[in-house]
Amino acid sequence: MNIIKTYYRNFKKQKLIYGITIGGFAISLSVLVIIVSFLIEEKSVDKHLPNIKNMYRIKQADGNAQIPKRIYDPILSSAPGIEKLCLISKNGAFYEYQNKKEWALVVSTNKEFLDVFSINIIKGQNDGLLESKNDVLITESFAEKVFGDKNPLGEILEFGNREKKSVRAVIPDPDKKSSLKYDVIFNIEQELFTSTRGYNEESYKMFDAVFLLNPNANPGETERSISDILKPYEGYEEASLLIQPFKEVYFDLKGDNDQFAHANLSMIRLLSWVAFIILLLAIINYVNLTTAFNNERHKEICIRKTTGARQITIFSQFLKESYFSCFIALLFAIGIASFFSPLFYDLFGREVNILEAVKNRQIVVALILILVVVGGVTGLLPAISVSRYNPIDLLQRRTKLKKSNFRGIYNAFQLFATMSLIIGLIVIVKQINFVKTKDVGFNKEFLLSVRLQGETYSKANVIKEKLLQYPNILNVTGTNGRPFGIYSTGSGSWTTDSIEYRIENVAHMNTDTSFLSTFGIKLIKGRNFRLTDNNVCIINKKTYNYLQLDDIEGKTIWDSKIVGVAEDFHFKTMYNELGFIQLRYSPNEVTHLNIRIRGNDIPGTLSKIKSEFKEFEPGMDFDPVFYDDWINTLYKREEMQAKAIKIFAAMALILSCLGLLGLAEFTTVKQTKEIGIRKVNGAKVFEILSMLNKDYIKWVAIAFIIATPVAWYAMNKWLENFAYKTELSWWIFALAGLLALGIALLTVSFQSWKAATRNPVEALRYE
């Protein structure tokens, strides 16, 4: 109770200082509470699976997360330690039930999936599931959505290929912490959709592969036994397989086209570093302010020491006060975090319920550890400093407030962190604007894409002709996939003019005679497609140059005759270099209609487009996407990072300002007598201000000198993620330095002005 009374008494004397220290802690700890809650939730993804310790994924050593279906049996025969192996392919599918048509998330797999992922059966028989091609398993929420209170077992669902599938069982919804989400499970043999990889004339159906390993088996031996299985297949001569613990899959971003959700590792790393920096700034503030204002408690310390208080008692008192401040700040932090957590929804991609999170045992333990560590670290230095005071020196005022370079270094670090965040924010925003406005090689203005669904697949050409009858629709072309959403790639080798060529990762896109005109892409050699063409293609300039073709006459690529060469255009994000692409003439095999419209009466034009699609598929989800809007969304991750840095830079700035206020107060108290003597001898206010502020300018300059190379290196590494990047201009660093200097001077100017305009008589009486 004594510590609470003492704390309350000092709080009344120095409300502002205690408010700053507790407020600073509360702000930083609220951020820490939100981030820790998010990180612990991220770490718990897939941990609910009963077999998680023995679950592994097979992937290619180059990072590709999918393997060909045909090596299923060879893997099982080569690795006896594998108990159950399931292949997984996930996609969206259009289903119909009683004239109701909607989209569902579908997983195509084999029966071992149920054992590997420990799927329970709510309704239906356990035996023989997924053994028939027409079997369907549906989740509980999907059953309620489609069938209501009706028993779904035996009901028939019709999917996009008009295949009728019978509901065999109802299973639980995927856990909210699962990286694999689905509404419906198909038998693997159905052909509704597959991911394929082509190599020359070979075509491989690709799946993710997850298996259960015998607890007594050695994972290393299992990996060695399957590592060379791919090598005999064409195109895989250099490929090898490895196995990966399934608990690591969520945090693996190297997988290509795999079926699982993944963590945003760059955001997690950013949040972790920022949480550490914000907390460090708060600790520095507490130490700075506490040691600076302990001068006001000299009388209290003197009385306690002269009445017999030991050094350890004084030390313990100040350490307890630190813990008490941290505890109060933590309570405020939880409230602040609960109130502001919705602001972090866009950063995390989901809501973080703080009040629910603090019920989690792991989070409670984390908060206790934070309280113990932070309270100890912040209280240690002030406690040691004060406990060493000599009471005689205190009474005779021989204990002076000495100038401490460490205090300036602390503030320089705060300014360094703030400047680094400001530089990072400017660079990220500049890069986002750069990639959004960079020429993509085709006219993206007033160009929209509509996904075909249900009956519209077979009626694409009819819809195209009807749309072209509207004066506000300039052109229409069908594509299988679309730029920035390629569905198919291939690799291979062939011989032309006695020269063997090998080319990897060529994008394939089926289209028609209107593609080039609709997208505004120039043809630089050869001709466009003709209605009478068969088995022909157009390649882009990069592919043409790579193949070193002097002429395209009589040239083929994978038995497809090259009839034209188009100007290069971007069909991947700016993370990647311009790639190879083969446009194939196949107007009847398309998944999207791309429509160029006039800029006037856009709502009316969209309404007419919608009515044409609805005529053939009334239940379709009409969701047109404008290319310029869609391209902007491709860099959402970077926009999230910019938003995060913006929030945290503001917090770092606030904490830095609080630290500067502490340093300013300390400086003015320390130099009170000097200021009085200077004023008595005729010093002007401006001269006093210059004397007081020169140290802050020095520490800003030091922070700028350190922050510039560190931020330059960090942002250079970040920009390496992009094939096309902005420049790190000198003005970015200069602007950050000027902002930091201006804010620092504004922050301390009020304290400096008070000291400079103080009556010199009062200043001299101070001593």
20-23 LR contacts (CB < 8 Å, sep 24+):
20/285, 20/289, 20/658, 20/661, 20/662, 21/285, 21/286, 21/289, 21/290, 21/325, 22/325, 22/328, 22/329, 22/332, 23/329, 23/332, 23/658
**Measured CA angle at 514 (ends 508, 520), to 5 deg:** 85
What is the torsional sign of CA 235, 238, 241, 242? Answer: negative
End-to-end alpha carbon distance in the chain:
35
Q: Supply 567's token pair.
A: 């100007």
Contact 484, 530 (CB under 8 A): no
Contact 613, 622 (CB under 8 A): yes
Q: Is 759 helix (H, G, I), strand (E, B) or coil?
A: coil
Phi-psi category of residue 549: left, alpha or beta, with phi > 0 → left and psi -120 to 50 → alpha: beta
CA distances from 702 to 409, 683, 733 (A): 9, 29, 14
Q: Give phi and psi for 510, each to the nearest 5.
A: -75, 140
Q: Supply 631's token pair.
A: 């391209």
The H or E element containing residue 113 is helix 113-116
548 Cβ neighbours under 8 A, 6+ residues apart: 499
Considering only CA atoms, which of 32, 12, 26 is closest in space to residue 648? Answer: 32
CB atoms within 10 A of CB 611: 11
Considering only CA atoms, which of 304, 315, 298, 309 is closest in space to residue 395? Answer: 298
Compute the distance between CA of residue 128 and CA of residue 168 in angstroms, rounded to an integer.
9
CA distances from 493 to 502, 507, 510, 547, 555 (A): 4, 15, 21, 11, 14
The H or E element containing residue 581 is strand 580-585
Structure confidence by residue, pLDDT tens digits, 213-247 = 888 888 888 888 888 888 887 777 777 888 888 88
CB atoms within 10 A of CB 360: 14
Residue corresponding to tokens 């259009």: 94
pLDDT of residue 133: 77
Q: Supply 66's token pair.
A: 């999918």
Contact 703, 741 (CB under 8 A): no
pLDDT of residue 401: 44
- What is the side-by-side strand order in the sheet with 473-479? 473-479, 592-597, 447-451, 625-626
Amino acid making up residue 727: E
Residue corresponding to tokens 């079926």: 259
Compute the distance between CA of residue 11 and CA of residue 325 in angstroms, rounded to an integer.
11
pLDDT of residue 592: 87
Considering only CA atoms, which of 450, 416, 452, 735 is closest in space to residue 605? Answer: 450
Residue corresponding to tokens 């005529």: 615
**Measured CA angle at 52 (ends 48, 57), to 5 deg:** 125
CB atoms within 10 A of CB 44: 13
Compute the distance between CA of residue 26 and CA of residue 35 in angstroms, rounded to an integer.
14
Considering only CA atoms, which of 593, 586, 626 is closest in space to residue 456? Answer: 593
The H or E element containing residue 405 is helix 405-437
Structure confidence by residue, pLDDT tens digits, 447-459 = 898 888 777 877 8
Compute the distance between CA of residue 647 and CA of residue 642 in angstroms, rounded to an integer.
9
CA distances from 731 to 78, 419, 727 (A): 61, 13, 11
Considering only CA atoms, which of 577, 110, 739, 290 is closest in space to residue 119? Answer: 110
Considering only CA atoms, which of 679, 699, 681 is closest in space to residue 689? Answer: 679
CA distances from 704 to 273, 417, 652, 741 (A): 20, 10, 15, 9
Compute the distance between CA of residue 160 and CA of residue 181 in angstroms, rounded to an integer.
20
Looking at 606-721, which runs of residues are DSSP E strands?
A: 625-626
Q: Give phi and psi for 485, each to the nearest 5.
A: -150, 55
pLDDT of residue 693: 65
CA distances from 575 to 231, 436, 578, 579 (A): 30, 12, 10, 11
Amino acid making up residue 431: Q
pLDDT of residue 37: 77
The full length of the chain comes to 767
Q: Rounded to a whole number, what is the largest CA-CA distance in the chain?
A: 107
Q: Which residues pair with 728 in a beta bridge?
A: none
Compute the distance between CA of residue 31 and CA of residue 621 in angstroms, rounded to an integer.
40
CA distances from 50 to 115, 116, 120, 613 (A): 10, 9, 12, 46
Task: Compute mean pLDDT per 10 residues along the chain, 767 residues long, and list them.
Answer: 63 64 75 77 82 88 80 84 86 75 82 88 81 83 85 80 76 86 84 63 77 87 84 77 85 68 72 75 70 60 66 72 77 78 68 69 76 73 63 53 57 79 84 83 87 80 86 88 80 67 79 88 88 87 82 78 88 82 86 86 85 78 82 77 75 71 63 61 61 72 87 85 82 86 72 58 52
